[in-house]
Structure 1
């Protein structure tokens, strides 16, 4: 185990750099094709997959902070892509849902997202892609355990 930090070999740094490189590549395409920023696209995708959700639930699902989720929700609402409705479980919050225009946008973007994923990860054989998915799940679980104070 190394005793000095070398950033280029530090796995949390490398994960962040790789994540940012993938996000940046996808972000420019989404911005050019659909006028969306990554946080906005994430909200659209999560709402399409999970149905109506509060902003707090969206923060948990996307791992984005409240301000980022709020700004993305405002931008999407201004474009008529999401709507806010009553939350029967909590009168203090609103549930966000996709509008028909939001669904239409999702149906345009989802195939492109899958194509971007394919093009980026084609450098890895299918078996390595599956290994990477499994490793990422274990890393996320370990990070969650550390954050919760569990060893």
Structure 2
């Protein structure tokens, strides 16, 4: 799709969402601040995302997709879902249940 894994992760996180702070984006993507800064700069240069001052805190910026970025999200995300569906369809119902349970445990560890 012409995107790095991290670029795709950022676009997928911002897609169909209101703009968010860099801190929130980093927490949602698990991308370090240093890496995220470079990724955001490259996506901004490509016209995929924009930064605006945070109206609630002028020390931070709100990161959101541009119209072009949202169109890119709407084009690539369905392909990503098809790719995942193809991969996960190879699992039995029991295996899928086990994977789901394991991911829920991992999610709980990271969010609590």
Normalised by the size of structure 1, how large is the TM-score? Answer: 0.67
Q: Provide the aligned C-alpha RMSD in A.
A: 1.7
Query: How far does residue 143 in structure 1 lie from its aligned partner after superposition?
Result: 5.4
1:2-151 map, 5 Å: 33=1, 35-142=2-109
Structure with the larger helix share: 1
Given the superposition, is the C-alpha separation of residues 89 and 39 from structure 1 closer, same or farther in structure 2, using an over 3 Å criterion?
same
Contact 2:16 2:70 survives alignment (8 Å): no
Normalised by the size of structure 2, how large is the TM-score? Answer: 0.88
Query: Which of 1 and 2 has higher RCO (CA within 8 Å, sep 6+)?
Result: 2
Structure with the larger strand share: 2
State the distance in 2 between where 1:111 and 1:75 align.
23
Return 52-61 or 119-128, whichever deviates more. Answer: 119-128
Unaligned runs of 5+ in 2: none
What is residue 28 of structure 1 aligned with on the other side? none
Number of matched pairs: 112
- Structure 1 stretches (4+) deviating beyond 6 angstroms? none
Query: How far does residue 127 in structure 1 lie from its aligned partner after superposition?
Result: 4.7
Unaligned runs of 5+ in 1: 1-32, 146-151
Return 64-73 or 130-139, whichever deviates more. Answer: 130-139
Q: Which has the larger radius of gyration?
A: 1
